[in-house]
Structure 1
């Protein structure tokens, strides 16, 4: 139980970190003409945990005259959601680690 919770928490940390990185990239390029913001989606894994898929969002013609497709309001809200998800998964990992450590100490 603890090891599967640990694995699920770790996959959540990785997925939310990837989503935060994508959001930071979108914000950093918000004023770059022709920049195409990417969308993040999360998928549940069969054995627990989550994976992240990053895909192209709005289509632009890629020309330097086309404004960025980044919506800063959306990016800020998503960044807060991704940070909360990261923090929650960090707590899952810490709790699983504490439980696993307790089990090892009991058996030792």
Structure 2
């Protein structure tokens, strides 16, 4: 079993990785053929958060270039990424609150034992 501090740290890391993936997606919004990163968060075997990052398989919208070629645009949706960034913020904030609470509880136990 993972310690409460370890579980909180894995949540902080998950929030950061989720935000980094979304920021990368937004940065490549106008890159033709770019496939967005998908982040899947799950519970680890011993507790904590496990992050899996993979590429989306959805195709982006197509358009015709001035030369007549059909080009696939990026499949990144800016509105979806805004929501993902808000979720990443709350994931990080909740994990930080759990970390602070665990730290305060451990200090309280040390004060009782001292």
TM over 0.5: yes
Aligned mates of 1:51, 1:24 — CA distance in 2: 20
RMSD, aligned CA: 1.7
Tell me the residue number matched to 1:107. Answer: 113
Aligned mates of 1:101, 1:33 — CA distance in 2: 53
- Structure 1: gaps spanning 5 or more residues: none
Tell me the residue number matched to 2:44. Answer: 45
Larger radius of gyration: 2
Q: Are 1:71 and 2:77 an aligned pair?
A: yes
Specify which structure has the higher proportion of strand.
Answer: 2
4+ residue stretches of structure 1 with deviation over 2 A?
none
Q: Are 1:81 and 2:87 an aligned pair?
A: yes
TM (norm. structure 1) is 0.87
TM (norm. structure 2) is 0.82
- Structure 2: gaps spanning 5 or more residues: 60-70
